[in-house]
Amino acid sequence: MENDTIARRNVLVLVASQAILGSQMPMIFTVAGLAGQTLAPNKCLATLSISLMVIGSMLTATPISTFMARYGRRAGFIVGTAGGAFGAALGAAGLYYHSFALFLIGALFSGVYMSAQGFYRFAAADSASEAFRPKAISWVMAGGLLSAVVGPQLVTVTADAMVVPYLGTYLAVIALNMIGVFLFAFLNSPKPAYVSNADYAGRSRMQMLRSPRIAVAVIVATVSYALMNLVMTSSPLAVVGCGFKTADAAHVVTGHVLAMYGPSFFTGALIARFGVERIMSLGLLILAAAGVVAILGVDLGNFFVALILLGLGWNFGFIGATTMLAGAHTPAERGRIQGLNDFIVFGGVTMASLSSGGLMNCSGGSVIAGWQAVNLAMLPFLVVAGSALIWLWLRRADPVPG
């Protein structure tokens, strides 16, 4: 089918973008907390830069979605690379001049890239048929598999490459964003026809949120992403705080990101075979298992297993929720609900990242107590998301309007 021919070409571009540009996310998540400890006046603020990056993503999700609806995906993704490059430049300057404030401002701008990257999965679904859509989304997410290897390995090469620790890592992030501008030139995503408010046909944002399938998709996506961020943000601090090396933390993050994206090669097929609700439920159960393993011990093996399970649970929960959302709205509603979805998702991630540093560094007076507090905090949110899925199962099918 012609649409799937276009979709497959776009998937290739988006996979490459996810692999290369996406490398900056594990790089930043590995070093930002450690760099923050060297700059922050209080260790409880060590992960504040990650929180601000997520806040930047949350605040720009709706504007970028609206911008893409007006000017096309390509333009929006290029804006994202500009934000990522500028944010990394400010972060590098903050490290060089030992300015925590400048470092934090840079993190806020890095959120522009993080927000734009979140729309790769929706761009993959735009021109795909209903049958190909789950595979298109999961294949694009699978592009992160290479980023799981490249990003942390770049950290091991660049973290101590310059006199100022971690400065080389932020300079490498600038280079990655420059590459992205060339990649998006190959994206076949024409500027959409402009639809004025007077001509707009579809539900309002609040009406869409009252749709059971949209509501549950948003809840599960938010919980999956927020809990993944909560634990991952603290993991380098916990690994290093328990006496292991920065390289060990990078390797743990590598295993985590591999687990986040590796299953994407077959997640779409699993959704097609077993149903999206079952895969989302499995994701939540695996996230719970990650918390149990983390609480049981702080050996390096525990960190590896817990973070691998965390990545796997995120993959099933988040890709499942994305697939459910993509099939629950009409094309005319796309710009509104996708931006609102990511605003809510990254709002939850913001709260998680803000809580992560405080729980890790300011709970119980020890690294182990802080790490246990981080993982225990997952429980109530997993209960909420699981209850939402059970509620959906008890309802009749909610058809897409129009």
Q: Model confidence over 164-209: pLDDT tens digits?
A: 889 999 999 999 999 888 888 888 776 655 555 444 556 777 888 8
Confidence of residue 361 (pLDDT cuts 50, 70, 90): confident
Contacts for 348 with CB less than 8 Å, ≥ 6 apart: 222, 223, 225, 226
Q: How far, CA to CA in Å, does 42 sit from each of 38, 54, 357, 358?
A: 10, 20, 11, 11
Identify the pLDDT of residue 3: 55
Q: Model confidence over 276-292: pLDDT tens digits?
A: 899 999 999 999 999 99
Total structural domains within the chain: 1
Among 19-28, 89-98, 234-243, 328-337, whose mean pLDDT is lowest?
A: 328-337
Among 49-53, 143-147, 309-313, 341-345, whose mean pLDDT is lowest?
A: 143-147
Identify the pLDDT of residue 170: 94
Mean local confidence (pLDDT), 111-140:
82
Whether residue 242 lies inside any domain: the answer is: yes
Whether residue 230 lies inside any domain: the answer is: yes
The model carries a pTM of 0.73
Q: Measure CA 304 to chain center.
A: 20
How far is 22 from 114, CA to CA, in rounded Å? Answer: 9
Whether residue 122 lies inside any domain: the answer is: yes
- How many CB atoms sit inside 10 A of residue 102's CB? 18
Whether residue 165 lies inside any domain: the answer is: yes
Whether residue 189 lies inside any domain: the answer is: no
Whether residue 377 lies inside any domain: the answer is: yes
Domain range holding 212?
A: 2-182+202-393
Return mean pLDDT, the chain.
85
Closest CA to 140 of 205, 73, 193: 73
The answer on pLDDT for 402 being more than 50 is no
The answer on pLDDT for 22 being more than 50 is yes
How far is 300 from 316, CA to CA, in rounded Å? Answer: 25
Whether residue 178 lies inside any domain: the answer is: yes
CATH code for the domain in which residue 354 is found:
1.20.1250.20
Identify the pLDDT of residue 286: 97
Whether residue 359 lies inside any domain: the answer is: yes
Q: How far, CA to CA in Å, does 266 sit from each of 107, 227, 273, 312?
A: 33, 23, 11, 12
- How many CB atoms sit inside 10 A of residue 220's CB? 30
Mean local confidence (pLDDT), 252-262:
84
Is residue 270 classed as helix, strand or coil in its secondary structure?
helix
